[in-house]
């Protein structure tokens, strides 16, 4: 009887301990479950791709603070990358605006240049037409004049498309002196003072009258020019090539005589 009472006491004590242990285990399990649910909610709210699922039979505890820390680090990294992308986009936008401004300014400048060019072409065409009509009018007037010399002048002017006797005769002389690089004429004064241009014109049409090497002797050319003029029966002043700047009217007259004696004779031949 006494033994059975002892056994009952032991059994009762064991049951109490077991019940207490089970209650403690359930309480711990309940706390772990609450923690797990909190972590799962936090993970879901932060758009985490991986879900935390406890394995059966395992007693795992989750630290919500650690998950929050990881989430904050992830957000910080994403914000940093986003800021860098925004800065790059802003920089590229500014550069694009600059390029657009440059292109627009160049387009405006090109348009203005094109407009000026078209205007210049129109003005040149108008001047050309006016010159041609004026030249035709002068030629018609000249043909009604009985002076043969005036007719010759207008023929030269028509050939070299010039309304000026001086410019037409100068253009004729320049065209005939292209074979003499060391001799250039741009007026009827100083460029003819040494007589070389006069002698070169004679050599162009009559190389038998003067040797080309003589054109290199500057000191001899004034005298040679007078001799050639005399042979061609051209009357010029003996002091025409003596000064550094002869009278352009007398030089023009002498050159025009060369034109009549040499150019027209060559055309007739």
Output 62-68 pairs: Cβ under 8 A, ≥24 positions apart. 62/35, 62/36, 62/38, 63/39, 64/35, 64/38, 64/39, 67/39, 67/42, 67/43, 68/42
Q: How many helices (H) and strands (E) does the chain have?
A: 8, 0
Q: What local confidence, expressed as pLDDT, does residue 229 receive?
A: 92
Angle in degrees, 0-180, between the axes of helices 248-258 and 165-176, rounded to the nearest 10: 60
SS3 per-residue string spanning 34-49: HHHHHHHHHHHHCCCC
CB atoms within 10 A of CB 204: 19
Among the listed residues 192, 266, 257, 190, the one whose alpha carbon sits nearest the alpha carbon of residue 229: 257
Rg (CA), the chain: 57
- Please state the pTM of the whole predicted model: 0.48
Structure tokens at 102: 């440059």
Q: What local confidence, expressed as pLDDT, does residue 73 receive?
A: 56
CB atoms within 10 A of CB 48: 15
Structure tokens at 12: 């009762």
Among the listed residues 151, 153, 200, 195, the one whose alpha carbon sits nearest the alpha carbon of residue 174: 200
For domain 148-264, which architecture applies? Orthogonal Bundle (1.10)
Angle in degrees, 0-180, between the axes of helices 165-176 and 196-205, rounded to the nearest 10: 70
Per-residue pLDDT tens listing for the chain (269 residues): 444 444 444 444 444 344 444 444 444 444 554 454 454 444 444 444 444 444 444 444 445 555 555 566 566 777 788 888 888 998 898 899 999 999 998 988 888 889 888 989 988 888 888 888 877 777 676 666 557 787 888 888 888 888 888 999 999 999 999 999 999 999 999 999 999 999 999 999 999 998 888 888 888 899 999 999 999 999 888 888 877 788 899 999 999 999 998 887 766 55
Output 225-231 pairs: Cβ under 8 A, ≥24 positions apart. 225/195, 225/198, 225/199, 226/195, 228/198, 228/199, 228/202, 229/198, 229/254
What phi and psi values does residue 242 have, to the nearest 5 degrees? -90, -30
Q: What local confidence, expressed as pLDDT, does residue 102 receive?
A: 92
Q: How many CA within 13 A on the CB side of residue 91?
A: 6
Q: What local confidence, expressed as pLDDT, does residue 62 receive?
A: 43
Q: What angle do CA 221, 223, 228 make, to 5 degrees?
A: 85
What separation in angstroms does the CA of 161 have from each of 69, 136, 157, 167, 205?
Answer: 94, 10, 6, 9, 23
């Amino acid at each position: 009887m006494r033994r059975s009472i002892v056994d009952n006491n032991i059994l009762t004590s064991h049951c109490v301990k077991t019940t207490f242990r089970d209650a403690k285990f359930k309480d711990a399990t309940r706390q772990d479950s609450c923690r797990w649910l909190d972590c799962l909610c936090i993970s879901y709210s932060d758009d985490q791709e991986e879900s935390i699922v406890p394995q059966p039979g395992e007693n795992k505890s989750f630290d919500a603070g650690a998950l929050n820390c990881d989430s904050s680090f992830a957000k910080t990294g994403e914000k940093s990358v986003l800021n860098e992308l925004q800065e790059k986009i802003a920089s590229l936008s500014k550069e694009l605006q600059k390029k657009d401004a440059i292109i627009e300014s160049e387009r405006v400048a090109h348009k203005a240049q094109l407009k000026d060019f078209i205007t210049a072409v129109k003005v040149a065409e108008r001047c050309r037409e006016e010159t041609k009509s004026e030249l035709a009018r002068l030629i018609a007037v000249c043909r009604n004049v009985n002076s043969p010399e005036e007719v010759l002048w207008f023929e030269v002017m028509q050939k070299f498309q010039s309304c000026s006797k001086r410019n037409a005769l100068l253009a004729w002389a320049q065209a005939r002196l292209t074979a003499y690089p060391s001799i250039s004429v741009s007026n009827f004064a100083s460029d003819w003072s040494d007589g070389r241009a006069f002698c070169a014109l004679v050599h162009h049409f009559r190389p038998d009258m003067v040797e080309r090497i003589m054109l290199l002797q500057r000191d001899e050319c004034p005298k040679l020019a007078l001799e050639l003029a005399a042979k061609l029966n051209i009357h010029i002043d003996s002091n025409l090539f003596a000064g550094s700047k002869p009278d352009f009217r007398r030089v023009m007259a002498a050159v025009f005589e060369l034109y009549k004696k040499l150019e027209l004779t060559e055309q007739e031949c």
